[in-house]
Chain A
């Protein structure tokens, strides 16, 4: 079977980009990734994006971005899997390379969220929920996560403080990332004193509304050699998995198990031939602090009900056993929804090349996990230093 390696990575800073349009961000990321790989053409483009229609009245992003990035008459499409669109786009790009149909693939994740009014942004994000049975009743994404958070705290006896530690860790790491939206550490009390947005979930338990784009170039080792890309730049996509769960949170078999992440992770581990203990760092989907805790459990890093314990015991820092969110995660780097999975991939690539500003020592294997919906659509990807 063919192998897939990432040979180029690029991104834009995450933030409120008032002066830049969706296409500007995406084109910048694509060209950065192509320059990083030292190539000037690709066979196809996959665009990870969640909700460009409502946010900027633009669909057909494949055409828009390939056209404006000067990629010629290549195949180009948008991939949508809610907030996991970026992770899904990366996996579709890898599949195209592994299939042998395409040799050099560009993947870009992009989202432009700050052109909308805040309450409209809240509504658009909730399009990933079940429109008739969740959004109809006024459920925002924050509210759905708050329902899970309260139930988790009650079931396992955690406090708001326990979960706030995930936000503190993310900001500690994000402070070193020049591309992060929030480049400052925060104190525990800052999280605890922030206002409730859907009790018991507070403003600092949640990732921000923002803009950004990230891109990677994927090919085979043979082609990478042919293109003259130095081996230090290669990062292998060693394993990947993807799965869905009920779209409606109320229909979940178990509110506190991210079944989709569990299934996706099992597939990714198997394909890569690794176990959780072999992974040197985890870029997980902490759109809300509760999702960080549940993700660690679903990925097999913590036992069920013990995800939040890892934060309390200091096991998630850069120099600890299970470093997470090494570049700030969704919380501090920012969460331009459809772009997030690609940002995670770019950050994992930098770690595995030894080029990260917040380097995990001797990182050889990294994992990215990207959640769409309230755990309803999840991608897990294992990356390895070549």
Chain B
């Protein structure tokens, strides 16, 4: 696969990917990732908001034929998670037996390695979700 200059490309999203920074418009609509215009009401008055990272599994799958670059992890669970603030986020699930994943399962965010680039040596980190550590 092609290898563009990745460092700046990924670094510019580190706040969203490490701390789940989303957007909240003047009318209280919360979205993730942050956008310049609120997708609900069209407001351009958006402030940053750090999401709690707690949510529930809305749907999930087990990726068995991954895109190149993710072969090492296969099969891996990928889910849509509805955060307690409202937005839905797509992420991998981690530290969980795929058999135990269920609709409405509670999860929390955790920072994990997403991927390594073989030749460039870049290691990408970002959010994944796991059952809450008690």
Contact = CB atoms under 8 A, between A and B. Distances in A.
Interface of A: 54, 117-120, 122-123, 126, 132-140, 142-143, 146-148, 150-151, 154, 195-201, 246, 248-252, 255
Contacts of A54: 1-2
Given A138-B78, A249-B90, A250-B80, A198 B63 contact: yes
A252 B66 CA distance: 23
A248 B88 CA distance: 10
Contact of B67 (A123, A252, A255): A123
Interface string B109-130: 0000011000000001010000
A123 B63 CA distance: 13
Nearest to A54: B2
B33 interface: yes
Nearest to A154: B103
A140 B67 contact: yes
A251 B88 contact: yes
B78 A118 contact: no
Given A123-B1, A250-B80, A137 B65 contact: no
A196 B124 contact: no
A252 B59 CA distance: 14
A135 B66 CA distance: 10
Given A133-B33, A147-B90, 15 more contacts: A119-B65, A122-B65, A123-B1, A138-B63, A138-B67, A138-B70, A138-B76, A139-B63, A147-B59, A151-B80, A199-B61, A199-B62, A201-B61, A251-B31, A255-B59
A252 B31 CA distance: 11
B78 A137 contact: yes
Contacts of A139: 63, 67, 78, 90
Grouping DSSP codes into helix (H, G, I), strand (E, B) and loop, the B interface class, with mixed when no group exceeds half, is: strand
A119 B90 contact: no
Contacts of B76: 138
Given A54-B2, A251-B39, A151 B58 contact: yes
Return the 9 tightest CB-CB contacts between A and B, nearest first: A123-B67, A146-B61, A119-B68, A151-B59, A138-B70, A250-B88, A198-B61, A147-B59, A199-B62
Contacts of B79: 147
A147 B65 contact: no
A178 B87 CA distance: 47
A343 to B, nearest CB: 24
